[in-house]
Structure 1
Amino acid sequence: MTRFSVVPAAYLLLLRGSGPDLEVLLQLRGPGTTYKPGHWATAAAGHVEAGESVFAAAAREAHEELGVVVDPADVVPLCAMQRTLPGVSDPVEQRVDFFLTTRVWAGDPAVREHDKCSALAWHRPAELPDPVVPHEQVLLGLLAGGDVPPVVTYGFDGSGPW
């Protein structure tokens, strides 16, 4: 069996409103990004650096990408997603994405990395723009339904999330 590496990432969903008025801040990925340009995605996300907690990574990414200040103590775990590329029978790399939320930040979110992000917009999880990064669309769909399990898998055996 081939040993694989796990790449951890932190996704911070900035939320406002509640119930049917719940909105999440999304970014339109710009032409300068190598992954899914032209797709909508979580506004602040990135790899966890060595020695960094997912909470600190989420706060760092929010500042780098949106210019807002988030206290890691105000970051709330939502879900972990283990994923690989759909249809790959022998994955040598897997991702573990930590989806976190916050409703508390200082500053107004703005595009800070213009090559990687073309726009920011608030969207209801049940009314997403098209297209959305596929694995993030799964998570946002679960959020829209109000039932997000603590752990979700994506891309294994070509099957959906559970």
Structure 2
Amino acid sequence: MAEYLDIVDENGNPTGETVERAYAHRNGVRHRTAHVWILRKRDNKIQVLLQKRAETKSFPGCYDISSAGHIQAGQEFLESAVRELHEELGITASESELVYCGDRRIVWDDVFFGEEYHDRQFTKVFLLWADVEEGDLVLQEEEVSSVLWMNLDECIAGVRQNAFKHCIYPEELEMVRKKAIEGFHSADNPA
């Protein structure tokens, strides 16, 4: 079944037109995505949960955002983020638990499985404090092959040095780190 996305302007506002997801990626049509980075506190440090992408996905076998997904036509960012968390990792969260970190505009051109891939995304980035164990997650096998908790500062250094196979933008991870540190000692932080 084809997945349809809203075509959006440079600020992420739907234009009123929709496009099939595969067409958007073949032709570089701007659409929306939501990224959720899951964090927890351990030993007075912040850890981030990375997902390892399934071998059948773009960037196969790369470590990536905890949970991310395209915004289906007619849906909104928070609604989609909560849905993707549940689908990909089996995590049930409410929209109010997601902490907004900022917006990103992604332009990426590549080739996957012999096909041109032209990604044009307007993305809202969120974080979720959730102290969950890797073994308690229910992974969506066609999307996620495994997950890994990593110290956030070590992850940022590893991404910058390409110390492990990943498809993570260091600027996005820094955005999440900044927001996480702001809330690290907050009474509102349930972690």
- Same fold by TM-score greater than 0.5: yes
CA distance in 1, matches of 2:77, 2:47: 23
- 1:22-56 deviations in Å (ceiling 9; x for gaps): 111110112121x1011101121100112212111
1:1-162 to 2 correspondences below 5 Å: 5-17=29-41, 21-33=45-57, 35-85=58-108, 94-104=120-130, 110-128=137-155, 130-135=164-169, 137-144=170-177, 146=178
Cα distance, 1:25–1:52 mapped onto 2, change above 3 Å = same
Identity %: 21
- Relative to total residues, which structure has the larger helix share, 1 or 2? 2
Structure 2 residues not aligned, in runs of 5+: 1-8, 10-27, 111-117, 159-163, 181-191
SS at match of 1:5: coil
- 1:40-80 deviations in Å (ceiling 9; x for gaps): 01121100112212111110000000111011111111111
Contact in 1 for aligned 2:54/2:145 (Cα 8 Å): yes
Cα distance, 1:52–1:28 mapped onto 2, change above 3 Å = same
Which of structure 1's runs of 4+ aligned residues deviate more than 2 A? 104-109, 141-144
RMSD: 3.1
- 1:111-156 deviations in Å (ceiling 9; x for gaps): 4222321211111222125122143x33114444x379xxxxxxxx
Question: Which stretch shifts more, 122-131 or 23-32?
Answer: 122-131
- Relative to total residues, which structure has the larger strand share, 1 or 2? 2
Structure 1 residues not aligned, in runs of 5+: 149-162
Contact in 1 for aligned 2:34/2:125 (Cα 8 Å): yes
What is the TM-score with the length of structure 2 in the denominator? Answer: 0.62
Query: Highest relative contact order (Cα 8 Å, sep 6+), 1 or 2?
Result: 1
